[in-house]
Amino acid sequence: MLLTAYDGAILGPIAKVLGWIMNGIYTAMGAIGIHNVGLSIILFTIVVYILLFPLTYKQQKFSKLSQKMNPELQAVQKKYKGKQDQASMQAMQEETQLIYQKYGVSPMGSCVQMLIQMPLLLALYRVFMNVPAYVSSVKADYLDLVNGIMATDGYQNTMTSFVEKMNLLATTRADFTGSDKTVLSNYIVDVLYKMNSSGWDNLKDVFPNLSDLITSTHSVVEGVNKFIVLNISDTPMYVIKDSFANHQWIMIIAALLVPVISYLSQVLNIKMMPQASTGDNDQMAAQMKMMNNIMPLFSLVMCFTVPVGLGIYWIAGAVIRCIQQFFLNKHFDKLDLDEIIKKNQEKAKKKREKMGIAENQIREAARVNTKKIENTAKQSTVTSAQKELELEKAKATKANAKAGSMAAKANMVKDFNERNNKNK
């Protein structure tokens, strides 16, 4: 079963674990007589976002605290605006760090949570793109037809030509030149799962002796893959073209709804999310705004060309996030952020004490650093006039040196050297 699963070094093992969960959900649904991949995807998405909720909560909490400390960060940035000298830059960094310590948060903010979530979400994509590789019950629906194809003479060359004709090379890793029967069987399952509805009709043309088996398998698979009126293996673009040719206007509307709902749900989700502070960094704010505009548009465009099943996943994920966000916003509105900040400060203090850093050491270090910065600033403000004054004082001291003193002897040596240099 796992031979056709994604085998990446990082995402592969994660996809495997998620595949077990997906397989468990589909099997549990089958026990009560429900065999539907689309519904399984929705339930699976709910389970995954429940598992990710602790990370989501921490990320949202940071965003709220970031909004509260934003005025203080802006004040520090404004204070040192336009100052590029080392002393000013160091002072700005130290004051910024003190603000983060005050609120008990890390400058990295929600980056850690995002780094954990991203591989999970990318692995989910791999699972949904090849469900039979992870859900054994779905794979079993194809096996009778697969065995029939492999019992046909020259099936390897026939399948190779068929994959090229159906333009499936970009979405499968199927290679029918090998001799391992198990691998070849899995590759055929991959191809059958990736086919749209027209592919089944073409399959009858290349394997005419299996026409009845192809029809019966297609009927079973279509029932499993049917979500409302759409087949989750078809792309909305294919459904629109095919339905337009057959004047099936309801199917066209249904296919259009997938990318449109995906776009709208993504936009709503972004609007509901609290945005982390960017201070006076206009460039970062512009980048965040651009990303917030691009991601829903990306979902809109991609949903036309990817299987409906993946569009269902995007929609389900966005809707679940919107529901989560609604309740999180209600929750954070009731929270006493000042109390949270106080607790964070206590936690940070205890952590420093465990590391052997006392509060007075921190204050002393800050005082010493401030004094160094002040001394550096004073030294840098010495004018050329003051330098000239110091040179004049040195000359006067030299002229008034007492006879026999070290200064007088030094003057004699200097005068002797100057006379010799002139004579040369």
- Residue 203 is predicted with a pLDDT of 92
The pLDDT assigned to 209 comes to: 93
Round to whole Å and give the CA distance between 114 and 117: 5
Decide: pTM greater than 0.85. no
What residue spans of 32-179 are helical by DSSP H?
37-51, 53-79, 86-103, 111-129, 136-150, 155-165
Distances (CA, A) of 279 to 70, 270, 330: 6, 20, 25
Q: Rounded distance, CA 96 to CA 89, Å? A: 11
Q: Hey, where are the domains in the chain?
A: 2-129, 135-227, 257-334, 384-423
Q: Give the containing element (helix H, strand E) for 227.
A: strand 226-227
Tell me, what's the pLDDT at 398? 56
Q: What is the DSSP string of 313-373?
A: HHHHHHHHHHHHHHHHHHHHHHS-HHHHHHHHHHHHHHHHHHTT--HHHHHHHHHHHHHHH
* pLDDT attached to residue 213: 94
Give the pLDDT of residue 382. 46
Residue ranges of the chain with per-residue pLDDT less than 70: 1-9, 104-114, 116-117, 169-171, 274-285, 288, 348, 352, 355-424
- Residue carrying the six token digits 């079973």: 220
Place of tokens 């651009």: 290
